Structure 1
Amino acid sequence: MTLLLLAALAQEDDLEAKFTRSLGKVAAAVAEASAPSVVAIEVDRDPRSDGDGFNPNQGAAPDYYRRPEGLVSGAIVGADGWILTSYFNVSGEIRGIKVRQDSKTWPAKLVGYDKPKDIALLKIEAEGLPVLRTAVMEEIKTGRTVFVMGRSPDASRATITDGIVSAVHRFKESAIQVDAEMNFGSTGGPCLDAQGRLVGIAAHINPKSSWGQSGGVGFVTRIDAIEGVLEKLKKGEKIEKAKTPWIGILGADSEDPEGVRVQEVLSGSPAEAAKLEADDVIVEVDGKKVATLAELQQTVQGRKVDQDVTLTIVRKGKEQKVKVTLGENPNE
């Protein structure tokens, strides 16, 4: 019996080793083929503008959440000089942008952006640039292997990390979630499938995001969502982000009493200002019953930032009213 068990474990180890070797070969092939379409972006900005600070809910050192001053990444999507990157990379007080790759440097212009999707379109004066093929998004399903590439901190060398697709519908259907490591340097770079085809742009990493960086939770704005606005961006359109109202709790459905049980009150949130407490159960918003977390979210999103709402809560068995002034969700 022991020998059979050892043999089975040895076989599992062998399969894992074969998988690791196979993944390494695929990653190397994808990196070699795709690197010419990955660029470094140098942004001359006031480092304190739009990005300095940290999320107090994380308990990590503030420097971990500050936008670094180094290179960020982008992907060539037009042979005549069109570059996609994350909007966050080029937000703030910008004095100039340069696109770099190996020994080449081009001045770049920010042409358009879409804040909700966290993408921006740059233009450089160049011709004959290598463009990545586009993935078939119907093939990108949960569990598929993907790769995130960048060119930071060294513009002469592309970087690559691997992971799987964790979810395919995030940020109102415009993004997928992946567990490939992403950071402030690789954000804006391309996410690729195992054939080196463009799945989307690494995005939604900023100092206010609760998931931070390199934590196994990353988001990629889908290429099909980008294609839907690309022509508008080429014409200079700047799509602003609508403010999303927010209470600032982590919650779960409650059956007794029926409603939403507060699991955690986030630091600096409207809920904290209103003195909500963990284990409170929210049962009504402005007199309308809410039976689930989804119903609460839908009700709140139907309101406006800075609007006052009255929550009916049950605290230690007693019902009471609490007024909350809705804030702006920092993660959307």
Structure 2
Amino acid sequence: MTARATPVEVAVTVTDRTPTTATGTVRVDPADPVFAGHYPGFPVLPGVHLIEFADQTLRGWLGVDGPEGPVELAAVERCRFLRPVYPGDTVTVELTVDRTDDGLRCSAGVRTAAGPVADIRLRHRAAGAGTTAPEPVAEPDGRVGSGPALDGSDEGAALSAGPARIRQTIPHRYPILLVDRVTEVVPGRRLTARKAVTSAEPAYARLDDTADDSGYAYPVPLLIESWAQAAVLLAVWDTPNPDVLAGKVELAGAINNIQVTGPVPPGGVLEHRVGLVRAVGDTSILAGETWYDGRLVLAVHHFVLALRSIDVLRPAAAATS
């Protein structure tokens, strides 16, 4: 069994395993520390945790490492979030797996007692095989599709901000606040932010001294969450939303075509580059990249952010809607 860092306190229990399918279940612990920061006063499970649950179910299907050895998450081909998951919910993952020439592809339907909560498609490869960088998001002219330039060529005064401004803009708090500093922002167009990865991350707390260096790879769901928080910062920069009880709840609607290469070890700084592709009302579409030690480690081609009223998201209201 390969020990590895994970963003969740409890593990998925895998049952009903067949040569091509598996079912995983996990009860979301209301005492999980993540709820102190996501979000204060209205705890909601981060959407990326559902990606982790699907990943764990795949590993359970394999028998942890599988006959070919350990695997790593290479891509989130599709992830559509349908409704929030709350403390105390029991999450069920129904997984279908295909073996391909370049690894494993799995489709996961995720549900709670309230109904479907996510539709996820992942691609895994052999651990250590991620030597090719993801396809860059920026087009040759430096633009994300028809959206903003990521190369700094567009006009407008660039700003920067530290932790205080970040906390005044988005509702995320410890231990799930994963952006340290904004180094550049042109509101409505682009943003660059940084996040230091250290061995003191909460994700490493459950590793014991038997874990080797590979176990300290920064969990991919947290890598995605960190980039997504930079995207949220850009989307609400001019209309800060630091308190979901007074404002609106920030939810991921979908994250599609995310490519990942290689592990991110402690001791460096993630640089997230985000561009706003389009915004309509309370919904924004963003795209961008993450760089680490001079290499492209994450490419996010499509991220949908939705702001929703807390009144329609409360579990009682959602159950009757």
Query: TM-score, length-normalised on structure 2?
Result: 0.29
Structure with larger Rg: 1
Bigger RCO of structures 1 and 2 (CA < 8 A, at least 6 apart): 2
Query: TM-score, length-normalised on structure 1?
Result: 0.28
